[in-house]
Amino acid sequence: AQSVAQPEDQVNVAEGNPLTVKCTYSVSGNPYLFWYVQYPNRGLQFLLKYITGDNLVKGSYGFEAEFNKSQTSFHLKKPSALVSDSALYFCAVRDMSRGYGQNFVFGPGTRLSVLP
């Protein structure tokens, strides 16, 4: 069964410093990986995805993620954090076990706090 782990409930980083939000996955077959962000009282917003190709994926708002097949990881990164990046971040993998349809398995989320 597909699963996603986000080992850190909370990540704190100072504004201007680089940030990393970690994600590891377990899938059968090829992994299709996604990152979403949720701001308070809002729905999830798509940041980026890895389907195939270059292991470094660039997305919205200056975020990028590095796919590492040997470590089964897909960590989210940003070179210089902003206070406005403070939010809840979800890693997700497409659930291939259900066949047709875009079903996803989501991680539990990591709360990022960027301190001024």
Partner 1 sequence: NAGVTQTPKFQVLKTGQSMTLQCAQDMNHNSMYWYRQDPGMGLRLIYYSASEGTTDKGEVPNGYNVSRLNKREFSLRLESAAPSQTSVYFCASSEVAGGSSYNEQFFGPGTRLTVL
Q: How far apart are CA 4 and CA 41, in angstroms?
A: 24
Q: Is 49 in the site for partner 1 (CB under 8 A)?
A: yes
Q: Is 69 in the site for partner 1 (CB under 8 A)?
A: no
In terms of CB distance, is 78 or 94 closer to partner 1?
A: 94
Q: How many residues bind partner 1 (CB under 8 A)?
A: 26
Provide the mask over 19-38, with x wherever binding to partner 1 is found by CB under 8 A and - wherever it is not: -------------x-x-x--
Q: How far apart are CA 32 and CA 57, in angstroms?
A: 12
Q: Is 67 in the site for partner 1 (CB under 8 A)?
A: no
In terms of CB distance, is 17 or 97 closer to partner 1?
A: 97
C-alpha distances in Å from residue 11, one per residue of 6, 55, 64, 96, 104 = 11, 24, 17, 30, 24
Q: How far apart are CA 66 and CA 9, in angstroms?
A: 20
Residue from 17, 98, 113, 115 touching partner 1 (CB under 8 A): that is 98
Q: Is 40 in the site for partner 1 (CB under 8 A)?
A: no
- Residue 91's contacts (CB-CB under 8 Å, 6 or more residues apart) are 4, 6, 21, 23, 25, 33, 34, 35, 74, 76, 106, 107
* Residues at the interface with partner 1 (CB under 8 A): 4, 9, 32, 34, 36, 41-46, 49, 51, 90, 94, 98-104, 106-109
